[in-house]
A and B are shown apart, each in its own frame.
Chain A
Amino acid sequence: MVTDVGALVGLPEDVRIEVVVDEQNPFGKTSVDVAGRTVTVSVEGGAFEDPQRLRQFSEANARLVLGRLLFRVADRLDPAFGHPPADAELTPAEHTAWDAYAVGRYSRRLGVDGGRDRRRYAFRIRHGFSDTADRAFDGLWAGVGLTWADIQATCSGR
């Protein structure tokens, strides 16, 4: 599945992806570490869980999570994107902005909803409940060829 999602996202074939799942953890925190051409995706088990079936794996959720994360990996590997800090150093506002850009692309690539409304809600919590924030979200969701500077500009607009 990881290889499949990586291909859908457009990751080069020489990129090695390792997924580490903490199945003892019910929460949903995720992070990615990119070291050269090796990518380590760390996931707390709840992120891949079916919210209707406790402790059961949800392939749909897992694909959506991986799609979001691997689009961000693709951005990190693209010299034209810029040089974002490591995931642990991103602010919550930067996380939600970048996620909106990533999930928007994943949704269009696969022709699925991708949870646009819940992404918008998460974005609003960090960027405000306003028409300005909603327009910023819509721009990220529909964005193509954005750079890290574009995402930072969205965040500084708050």
Chain B
Amino acid sequence: MRRSFPAEDLARDGRFRRARMEDRFEDPRNELVPAGRRGGKLTPERPDAAHAARQLMHGIFVGEIQALEGAGRTVWDFDDDEAPFALKLDMARQCWDEARHTEISVKLGEWMGTEVGEFAETAFLYQAACNPDPVLRLTGVNRALEGLAIDVFNTMREFGLASGDPVLSFCEDWMLADEVTHVKMGSDWLRRLTEHDPERRERALEFQRVVDKLFSFRGFRGEADDNPIQLARTFRRMAGFADTEIDEIADLSEEPV
């Protein structure tokens, strides 16, 4: 069984279609959208609220599949010198969580009238999980991307509450609790594995910053009303993020890539 599994080889049936992150980021229409016409914070008041929520939910769904695949790779890809058995046990537990999240996401998609594969899938989450350094991989996935999941799930939870959707709000709240745990696992292992290697820790945190910046691009995530995804400060604190780290992520939404 190979130790490196590229994103192009991930198993998908005919319902799924892959899109490149570059195509989304470099969409020439992004520069032409008039000021004030952007989607804005995901609330029921948006005219396109249902469509935006369905599209975001499908993004969560494919993200959960990739998170399962990524955590699964981490269980296998490293020997005990590179990653302790206890870390792999945590990743196996995360696989269990992500598999459950995938199932929940499928059902939420059905609830919202979305078909599996209705929207294109970008494989960026899994690509971040391909980093050959287990510390960078954990930091990129469990701190940056699972941290994004905290923001996204909280946004969806609040959308469910505001729109009176009892199923969406309950399920997002339940999954949000797991994401807090996933981030904490990443934070704990980053600290333990780099306790005597500050350079490696800094490389890992820089990789995290790169990933965080990509998902704050063009104001996708932030704390302003025109950011579709809202930064979830309270839940990030519960997951072990310092206020200075959260402030840094908030500032990223204003920076060009």
Contact = CB atoms under 8 A, between A and B. Distances in A.
Interface of A: 24-29, 45, 51-55, 92, 95, 115-122, 124-125, 128-129
Contacts of A116: 113
A72 to B, nearest CB: 16
What 8 A-B pairs have minimum CB-CB distances, sorted nearest first? A118-B113, A117-B113, A122-B50, A52-B17, A24-B32, A26-B29, A121-B113, A51-B119
Contact of A125 (B117, B163, B166): B163
Contacts, number: 75
Contact of A26 (B30, B113, B114, B167): B30
Given A26-B27, A27-B37, A28-B48, 15 more contacts: A24-B32, A51-B55, A51-B118, A52-B19, A52-B118, A52-B120, A53-B17, A54-B120, A55-B27, A118-B50, A120-B113, A122-B49, A125-B44, A125-B49, A125-B165
Interface in B89-115: 110-114
A61 B49 CA distance: 18
Contacts of B110: 117
B164 A129 contact: yes
A61 B167 CA distance: 28
A29 B164 CA distance: 24
A29 B17 CA distance: 25
Nearest to A115: B113
Contacts of B44: 125
B63 to A, nearest CB: 16
B4 to A, nearest CB: 28
Contacts of A28: 48, 51
Contacts of A29: 47-48
B120 A45 contact: no
Contacts of B119: 51-52
B91 to A, nearest CB: 31
A137 B144 CA distance: 41
Contacts of B47: 29, 92, 95
Nearest to A117: B113
A25 to B, nearest CB: 6
Contacts of A129: 163-167
B164 A24 contact: no
Contact of B33 (A25, A119, A124): A25
Contacts of B32: 24-25
A121 B17 contact: no
Nearest to B48: A28
A32 to B, nearest CB: 15
B50 A125 contact: yes
A25 B30 CA distance: 8
Contact of B112 (A25, A52, A54, A118): A118
Contact of A119 (B24, B113, B114, B163): B113
A124 B165 contact: yes
B240 interface: no
A129 B168 CA distance: 11
Q: Which of B29, B112, B163, B164 has the most CB of A within 10 A?
A: B29
Contacts of A118: 50-51, 54, 112-114
Contacts of B166: 129
A116 B54 CA distance: 14
Contacts of A25: 29, 32-33, 37
A128 B55 CA distance: 20
B23 interface: yes
Contacts of B113: 115-121
Contacts of A51: 55, 118-120
Nearest to B44: A125
